[in-house]
Structure 1
Amino acid sequence: MSQGPDGEALTRAEERLAAALGRENATGALAADFAQDQANGDSPTLNDLFQLALERNSDIANAAQELNRADVARMNAIYGYLPQLSASATYSELEQEVVQTDNEVFAQGTANYPVTNLRVELTQPIFNLSRIFNIQLQNTARTVAEVEYIAAVQRATFDTFETYVTAAQSKAKIRSLRQRMSLIGRQISREGALTDIGLGTETLRNSYAAERASLAAEEAIETTRLAAALADLSFLTGSVVADVAPLSVPSGVLRSERGTSVEAGITAAEDNNPALLATAISVVEAELSRKQAIAADFAPVLDAFASYEDETREGSRFGGGSQTVDTTYGVRLTIPIFNARGQGYQAALESVDLRSAALEYFAIRRQLRAEIASTYARMSELSTAIGQSSAAASRASSNVTIEQDRLESGESVEVAVVSRQLAQSTARETLEFQRLEYLKAWGRYQFLTGASLNVDGL
């Protein structure tokens, strides 16, 4: 631990890594899309990042490789029922000495000669229940891989969506904080001028300054949140994301919970959520795996076989060499009786795995139902909050207009107008935050129910 890994071993490993990743093959081609982050515009839109995520997201790429692996495993399972042809060649030196015999012909001393064997063997499964179930198992596994690929696409798209909205929230809050700091700066300047002529107080001016400093600190914290969101977007999309375009909430999204219900959302999720569907099919896969194990443990196997063997002996105990050709063919029936493979019974383990798969399916379905109910309730509460915040923002705007009219008529002062504008900025910030928060909740509801995130105006 104090010295770290061996330097030479690390150097060799790095050289081998470079060689493996630099070959002109499918592995080497991955570097074009995944080795470096791709540059894009200064403020990419959400749809731009969706497209980049589909092309360069590593989770989606891994899911695609799992699908390729499932294809290969399915083909290998099919090969298990095709003819098996093999050839072998053996060269050996035989040294033979008769130690004891009651046959005078055999007692002719020793022999030393080479032997060459050429053998070709063909085996054709006729009935092998285990391999039949394995073909069905791998077909099901490929279906699972397909659904998991869809789930990976949906997850990457949702993560990109949610992170983008989070970045937009941070940008909106930073913009509001800077506007309020500017307004407080006007208050400080105005109070400073009044203090200079004896009509203001240094205490009030210091209070304004303290409030602006507090807002500046809040802005710094929000800037770090924006930077973290942009970094997450860069990872999700495999591109350099330095900023995001302004985001508005489409009118068709707001109050969308009124067009559905928790029960409808749960029904849609059970039909369309790919993660739940993949888990459900995994139960079927585990059941087929159990049947395949039972067949391997107990089912008889019938094979047809044929072999051709050419043996050349350069000598013998009797002096002369020989060449023999044997052709053998027939059928072989193998019946497992007890612990035939010397590894116990796999079926018992597969039964445990089947129960585990069923438990996982029930757990994910239960969690999905709870999350749908929670998200639906959040959308409903946010709709209520948006209505109240919209009314508050409208009244705050009216107050600014009234105060400005009073200022023009000489009935008010600029400090009062600035105070009204600060209240208006705060109300608008709250409203915009809640609208974007509703957009995130809507996106999660779409994700949970397996619906699309595409909507006009987004």
Structure 2
Amino acid sequence: MSPFKAMALLFLGAVLLLPGRLSAQERLTLEQAIKIGLENNYDIRIASTEQEIAKNNLGYRNLALLPTIDGRVAKDFSRNDIRNQFENNEPRVVDNSTNNITNASVLLNWTLFDGGRMFINYNRLKSLDRSGQLLTKATIENSLADILDAYFEVVRQSRKISSIEDAIAISQQRVDITQEQYEVGVSAKVEILRARVDFNADRSELLRQQELLQNAKISLNQLLGRDPNIDFVTTDTIMVNTGLEPGNVGSNMMAGNPNLQRIQVNRDLALYNLRSARSLRLPSIGLTGSYGYNRALQDPVIFGNTVGTNESQRIGFNYGVALTLPIFNGMDINRQIQNSRIALESTTLAYSQEQNRLQSELARTYARYVNRIQLLELEESNVLLAKQNADIAMERYRLGLLTAIELREAQRNQLVAENRLIDIQYEAKAAETELKRLSSTLLQENAE
């Protein structure tokens, strides 16, 4: 083995098998990545907490129909100088007259009818809970799509490293052949130098590609909500489903897209707001009641011609029914009704806008998907042709029938074709993932 070849193998070993690297790597399947992401992804966890708030609000909805009971205790003190003058009589003066008043009561308020707003609020809470569920679903689907794209990005960058390693192997053969030819006197030294320059260029490209792979792993770890420095190797390949039809995807999108459904829920909320504003014109009926204790002590106090102490005490029930009928409030009710109607119309327009946006996005994504499927078939054949051409070129180079420049061109053509195929596979998979996300079938398929 030539010294240069030994150095090259040592370099590859140092790059690919760093100390402790192989033993520290985990084998991460796509299924495992999805499971970890659904459990740890921060966006999903934040959306889940928002949904919990909506569930809690809905869980206490019936309490709005119940009365409110409050307890109140008060202790009041006062100190005054009193002077009473009765016609021509001498004035009666009392200095430092003190008052000591104690109040304790239990108050009950029960709204029996408020124009139906209690029931409207109940329906609003149900809609808010539904909106929270749809938000969580949309967040999960978006996060899942991001995880799939990030996982296959790691696969793509890993495969590109394999292609570069194949190119380095060819460059190494070229260096060995050139060295042997030089030793027997059939090749000039400049050919050895040119072969080594190309070999070093391939090694440099490998180092750059390894950086891209490391960045892709960090991005995936971030989506999985774990330490970005965790190293792993992917085990799945990029398998593209070539049988998606636009009709099926479009019908599923209109029926199940969570963003579209959330806008529909927002329209329901706007309708409830309109009904609530209209109900302000209706009377409200409430029941009030209290049980209280009152004690007042005033010392000293004037009783006619006598100065003494006055004490009074009350304890008992108070109850009644109150009817409130709005007559005029500065046209504020009309303002609220008009604004609610405008908001309802706005949500209707927003629904149509989102529907149009999704249809446009679907058309663009499907066109990209079909194009990548066609390119995929073409690039697969190109890789076979480029590989055959590179093999033939290497054999002709061994026989001295091909120049180094022509061999290098055949080698680069093979590498470019392989990388182009890898990119097309990734782009086709990304388009497939986006189509499934738009149709809200991505989560269902990956949960099975």
Q: TM-score range by the shorter chain?
A: 0.7 to 0.9
Q: How far 1:268 sits from its partner (Å)?
A: 1.3
C-alpha distance 223-104 of structure 1, shift in aligned 2 (>3 A): farther
1:22-171 equivalences under 5 Å are 42-95=26-79, 110=94, 111-128=97-114, 129-171=116-158
Distance 2:276 2:332 in 1: 17
C-alpha distance 448-401 of structure 1, shift in aligned 2 (>3 A): same
Q: Is residue 147–residue 275 contact of structure 1 (8 Å, CA) maintained in 2?
A: yes
C-alpha distance 413-454 of structure 1, shift in aligned 2 (>3 A): farther
CA offsets per residue over residues 21-53 of structure 1, 9 Å max, x none? Answer: xxxxxxxxxxxxxxxxxxx96231111111111
Q: Is residue 88–residue 119 contact of structure 1 (8 Å, CA) maintained in 2?
A: yes
CA offsets per residue over residues 400-446 of structure 1, 9 Å max, x none? Answer: 565678789x6967968887565444433322332232112111111
Amino acid at match of 1:120: V
Amino acid at match of 2:211: T
Distance 2:105 2:39 in 1: 51
Q: Is residue 254–residue 383 contact of structure 1 (8 Å, CA) maintained in 2?
A: no
C-alpha distance 168-218 of structure 1, shift in aligned 2 (>3 A): same
Q: Residue 303 in 1 paired to residue 286 in 2?
A: yes
Distance 2:208 2:148 in 1: 22
Unaligned runs of at least 5 residues, structure 2: 1-23, 304-308
CA offsets per residue over residues 142-199 of structure 1, 9 Å max, x none? Answer: 0100111111111111111111111111111122123213322332343354456654
C-alpha distance 80-99 of structure 1, shift in aligned 2 (>3 A): farther
1:365-380 equivalences under 5 Å are 365-380=355-370
1:242 corresponding residue in structure 2: 231
3-state SS in 1 of match to 2:250: helix
Distance 1:310 1:340 in 2: 40
Distance 2:219 2:237 in 1: 21
C-alpha distance 102-442 of structure 1, shift in aligned 2 (>3 A): farther
Q: Is residue 312–residue 324 contact of structure 1 (8 Å, CA) maintained in 2?
A: yes
Q: Is residue 137–residue 258 contact of structure 2 (8 Å, CA) maintained in 1?
A: yes
Amino acid at match of 2:106: V
1:211-230 equivalences under 5 Å are 211-230=198-217
Q: Residue 329 in 1 paired to residue 312 in 2?
A: no
Q: Return 115-124 or 215-224, whichever deviates more.
A: 215-224
Q: Is residue 25–residue 233 contact of structure 2 (8 Å, CA) maintained in 1?
A: no
CA offsets per residue over residues 5-27 of structure 1, 9 Å max, x none? Answer: xxxxxxxxxxxxxxxxxxxxxxx
Q: How far 1:224 sits from its partner (Å)?
A: 3.3
Amino acid at match of 1:187: R
C-alpha distance 79-394 of structure 1, shift in aligned 2 (>3 A): same
1:269 corresponding residue in structure 2: 253
Distance 1:217 1:101 in 2: 110
Distance 2:278 2:199 in 1: 74
Q: Residue 429 in 1 paired to residue 419 in 2?
A: yes
> What is the identity percentage for the equivalent residue pairs of Structure 1 and Structure 2?
19
Distance 1:146 1:80 in 2: 23
CA offsets per residue over residues 278-329 of structure 1, 9 Å max, x none? Answer: 2221222233234334435x44321111112210112364423121124221
Unaligned runs of at least 5 residues, structure 1: 1-39
1:3-22 equivalences under 5 Å are none
Amino acid at match of 2:360: A
Q: Residue 394 in 1 paired to residue 377 in 2?
A: no
Q: How far 1:355 sits from its partner (Å)?
A: 4.7
2:310 corresponding residue in structure 1: 320
CA offsets per residue over residues 237-292 of structure 1, 9 Å max, x none? Answer: 12234233133233xx43223xx12x442221111112221222122223323433
Q: Is residue 87–residue 121 contact of structure 1 (8 Å, CA) maintained in 2?
A: yes
